[in-house]
Amino acid sequence: MPSRDIVSNSEEMVGDQLVRRGVADPRILDAMREVPREAFVNPADRGRAYSDCALALAHGQTISQPYMVARAAELAALKPTDVALDVGCGSGYQAAVLSRLCARVIGIELVPELALDAQRRLNELGFGNVSVQLGDGSLGLPEFAPYDAILVAAAARSIPAPLVDQLRVGGRLVIPVGPGKLQVLTVVTKTDHGIETAEYDTCVYVPLLGAAGGN
């Protein structure tokens, strides 16, 4: 069982960082409470696991700020029957949160060490509906497409066409878009007639590496 301090930190995160900023979906708030964020950060950062910031992982990658994970999940509008692709899954934290909101999550990670560690960690923690694949996330995973939602935890210079192609009609792509150190969290919805794009929060993510990331 998690310690009393960890439970308290998790509740404080949900109240101060999520609810206060307008995240209201009870399914998302419950998922953020349930997933033990301290298990997905570097051991040296466990005391800061529930801080209101991103934290460094190996190979120049990060575990996203809790609010951005919740906000991306909110914009993805996941249903219990959905299949989601988590691009740039890093340590597996966002994939674990998404796994409590939909039927299946497929993570893709470019760095072999991170991909292996994420799958091991998710298995040990009992997130049985998540699988992690090694590959170029900017190109997606066409072998498992179409997806109801694709969430990208790294910033592209422009919207990667391969990810849009892998959406189901009605599916949502949630991705930070923009150059340099400031991007806009963008939602692309695939329709029968093309795509609809909406911009939301400004944000800061590490660059999306790979053939279609533009970085």
Taking only Cα atoms into account, the Rg of the chain, rounded to an integer number of angstroms, comes to 16
Catalytic residues: 64
DSSP 82-101: -EEEEES-TTSHHHHHHHTT
Vertex 81, ends 75 and 83: CA angle to 5°? 65
Which of helix, strand or coil describes residue 121? Answer: helix
**Encoding tokens for residue 146?**
């179409």
**Encoding tokens for residue 14?**
């949900």
At 31, which helix (H) or strand (E)? helix 26-34
Residue type, 191: T
Q: Which residue has the tokens 């923690």?
A: 125
In terms of Cβ atoms closer than 10 Å to its own Cβ (0-12, 13-18, 19+), residue 146 is middle
CA 111 from centre of chain:
16
